[in-house]
Every structure is written in C-alpha cells, then in structure tokens.
Amino acid sequence: DGGITQSPKYLFRKEGQNVTLSCEQNLNHDAMYWYRQDPGQGLRLIYYSQIVNDFQKGDIAEGYSVSREKKESFPLTVTSAQKNPTAFYLCASSVRGQPQHFGDGTRLSIL
Amino acid sequence: GQQLNQSPQSMFIQEGEDVSMNCTSSSIFNTWLWYKQDPGEGPVLLIALYKAGELTSNGRLTAQFGITRKDSFLNISASIPSDVGIYFCAGLANSGGSNYKLTFGKGTLLTVNP
C-alpha cells in the first residue's frame, strides 16, 4: 500500500539527548513536511523540503534539524537545544501545490 | 504571517444533528482543505476546494470555498458517533517559491452523543 510511515509511534528523550524521528513515503511525492502539534493548537510547520537535497525552515525551526538525502525519506532530529520538545510530531508529503497527506505521528515525551 | 480563525473551538451535539463549522482569513487563499484527525492519529483529508464559490460534497460532508477566497465552511449532516474528532481547515496560498506551505486553523473538536 502507498502511504507515509512514521516511526517510532512513541519516543522518550532524556535531558541533553538528541533524538531522530523517521518519516518514509512511497507516494513518489516531491515535497515533504514536518509539523508539531500541541494540545489545543493547530499544526505548526517546523521544516519542509520541496526537492531532494534542499529544505527550508518553517515557523518554528529552532532546536530542530532535518536532512533530505533521498526522495522518500525526511528524518527530523530534535536536538538538546529544543527546550520544550514534548509534542505530537506529524510528517506529511505532497505533490507540489497539491493537498498534503499525513503519517500517523510520533509522540515525543521527556523522561 | 497568515492566520486562520476557525470556529467554533468545540461542539457537543446529539447523534443525528447537523453540524456547521467555518474558517475565515485576512488573506486570500487559492486552495481550501478540510481534514479530520482522530485521537493519536494523523489528519486525513476530507475535502479539497480549488475554486472560489466551489461547493463540494463527500458523502454527508459538504464544504464551500468562499467567493471572497477568504473563508470556507464545512457542514456535516445527520451526524453519527464516528464523526467524533478534530476538524481542521487549511489554506494554501501561492507566494512565490513557498506555495506549498499550508496555514492551519486551530481545529474544531466535535463530540457526538449517541
């Protein structure tokens, strides 16, 4: 089946630790996105990539990093610089200019 | 930046009732989207609207792209318990090379009482 796979479903981070969230898609979409969702808030854009080896900061990029070495993969690293990382993280992909389709999310918590 | 005002924030209705929610913006969008999110899962696209004035249905769901391109509404008819979830509107605006960025409303939490 075609779709977007995020892993793990749940992730725990210790103080001072970097963690990486995986996002893989087999939809052959050019564009991929990372969002953060907090309770009662809408989705806020962290980073997005329109093409392989290129990505741009979204509205809340501080404390996060990404890479886009392959079309199907867009991993997100939550660094120790992100002081409030507890949230639900959503990855999405799309054909350029078309609606985005989402994975099932990763819930990140602090130990 | 662009902002979407989505209302109401929450709704508590009886099964069988109709539901209406809307989004307004101070900016023009070229595409309006409506998503539904179940607890612990990612949003799922319900309806996409591409043209001002467009009225589109998907089963019991009907959505319209406002004629001013600054608003959209979603109606759900004859609600059922599985309609429970958070509904998000989202707008897509052409802005040079950044025309892939969606702006999301904060969501409408729908609860349906059987």
pLDDT digits (tens, 9 = 90+) for B35-92: 999 989 999 999 999 999 999 999 999 999 999 999 999 999 999 999 999 999 999 8
**A78-98 average pLDDT score:** 92
Percent of chain A scoring above 90 in pLDDT: 81
Chain A residue nearest residue B97, CA to CA = A50
* pLDDT range class, residue B3, cuts 50, 70, 90: confident
Per-residue pLDDT, averaged over A86-100, amounts to 92
Which residue is closest to B47 within chain A, CA to CA? A99
Note whether A106 contacts B: Cβ–Cβ < 8 A: no
**Which of A55, A35, A32 minimizes the C-alpha distance to A43?**
A35
Contact between B98 and A105 using a beta-carbon 8 Å cutoff = no
pLDDT on residue A7: 96
* Confidence band for A83, pLDDT divided at 50, 70 and 90: confident
pLDDT of residue A2: 66
pLDDT at B94: 66
User: How distant is the Cα of A69 from the closest Cα of chain B, in angstroms?
Assistant: 20
- A45: chain B residues, CB-CB within 8 Å: 101-102
Three-state SS for chain B is CCCEEEECCEEEEECCCCEEEEEEECCCCCEEEEEEECCCCCCEEEEEECCCCCEEEECCEEEEECCCCCEEEEEECCCCHHHCEEEEEEEECCCHHHCCCEEECCCEEEEEEC
Position A36 scores a pLDDT of: 96
Which of A31, A94, A104 has the CB atom closest to B42's CB atom? A104
pLDDT of A15 strictly over 90: no
The secondary structure of B82-94 as a DSSP string is GG-EEEEEEEE--
Task: State whether residue A97 sits within 8 Å of chain B by CB.
Answer: yes
Span A23-47, pLDDT tens digits = 999 999 999 999 999 987 789 999 9
Average pLDDT taken over every residue of chain A: 93
Q: Is the peptide bond before B8 cis (omega within 30 degrees of 0)?
A: yes
Mean pLDDT of all residues in B12-33: 95
List, for residues B89-114, the tens digit of each pLDDT value: 999 876 555 556 789 999 999 999 99
